[in-house]
Amino acid sequence: MALLEVKGISKNFGSLLANNDVSFDVKEGSIVGLIGPNGAGKTTLFNCITGIYKASKGNVKFLGNDITNLPPYRVARLGAVRTFQIVHTLKEMSVFNNIIIGAYLRESNSEKAAKIAEDCLDICFLKEVRNKRAGDLTIGLKKRLELARALATAPKLLMLDECMAGLTSTEVKESVELIKNLKIKGITFLIVEHIMEAIMPIADKIVVLDSGIKIAEDKPEIIIRDKRVIEAYFGQKFSKRLQQKGGAKTNG
């Protein structure tokens, strides 16, 4: 039984079929990348999984529980937490207070929650901006804050939606290191990304969406050679570049 089982999810908005019979699994302790061109339905899929949208068809199982029609807060409580493509912080509150709100999910005692928040603050390298107003942070720090807040909820599955967008290459490298460290701690990841240099080296498996349909699901080194994916997304030149860079994990 995989940690997350997506079975035949379809979502339509009127006549627009944003997700069309999408199915895949996420094994515990792995990192799964979800890629595809813009408009492929990646964020819609996230929204269906986390309960923001009601899927038109299909179901989602998390830890064996059917979470298909649960409201977002219930999904988060079960341990599947997501971040947003357009970063959502609680703007008027301090960085620390943003994180402690995540911590309060598992710990109602203020002192214990504060301790958890301190730890997450350290892990995500946010100690320096502890008391700053969240709305005043740069986008890189805001994304780390969102991650820290999600982390404070002690998640089993972290679903990151384009968390590298808008970051400098140094920041991207730092985020990748962070994700690798968190994986060692036992957190499973489902990551939507456009920056291939970030996701390909760390992913155990890549799922590719195009126009709402899953067109491929395999190890990264196979995906970068897959004809359908090249046609739909990478293009020949970029695919060659990825293959040359050895842009896929060398270990299985």
Partner 1 sequence: MKNKQIKKLDIYWFIFIIILFAIPLIPQVAGNTFIQHILVLVLLYASMSQAWNIIGGYCGQVSFGHSVFFGIGAYGAGMAVVKFGIAPWPGVLIGALAAMVVAVLISYPCFKLKGHYFAIATFAIVEIFNRLFMVWYWVEGALGLDYPLVEEGWKNFMWYETKIPYYYGALILFVIIFGLVRFIEINRFGFYLQAVREDQETAESTGINSTLVKLMAMGLSAFLAALCGAFFVQYSLRVDPPMVMCLSISMTFVLVTILGGTGTFLGPLLGAMILIPLQEYTRVLWGGLGSGIDLIVFGILIVLIMVRQPKGIMGMINEITKYLKTRKSNLDSESPEKV
Q: Where do contacts with partner 1 occur on this chain (CB under 8 A)?
A: 50, 52, 71-73, 76-77, 81-82, 84, 88-93, 96-97, 100-102, 104-105, 108, 110-111, 113-114, 131, 149-150, 153
Residues 6+ apart with CB under 8 A from 246: none
* Contact in structure between 54 and 33 (CB atoms under 8 Å): no
Q: What is the DSSP string of 95-158?
A: HHHHHHHHHTTT--SHHHHHHHHHHHHHHTT-GGGTTSBGGGS-HHHHHHHHHHHHHHT--SEE
Q: Which CB sits closer to partner 1, 151 or 224?
A: 151
Shortest distance in whole angstroms from residue 228 CB to partner 1? 33
Closest CA to 143 of 97, 86, 190, 103: 86
CA-based diameter of the chain, in Å?
A: 55
Shortest distance in whole angstroms from residue 162 CB to partner 1? 15
Q: Which CB sits closer to partner 1, 102 or 212?
A: 102
Q: Which CB sits closer to partner 1, 33 or 79?
A: 79
Shortest distance in whole angstroms from residue 216 CB to partner 1? 29
- The Cα-based distances of 3 to 32, 78, 187 in angstroms read 12, 12, 11
One-letter amino acid for residue 218 of the chain: D
224: helix, coil or strand?
coil
Shortest distance in whole angstroms from residue 92 CB to partner 1? 6
Task: Tell me the C-alpha distance between 39 and 209, whole Å.
Answer: 9
Q: Which CB sits closer to partner 1, 124 or 206?
A: 124
174: helix, coil or strand?
helix
Shortest distance in whole angstroms from residue 91 CB to partner 1? 6
Shortest distance in whole angstroms from residue 3 CB to partner 1? 18
Shortest distance in whole angstroms from residue 182 CB to partner 1? 17
Q: What are φ and ψ of residue 33, in 5° steps?
A: -95, 140
Task: Tell me the C-alpha distance between 48 and 59, whole Å.
Answer: 9
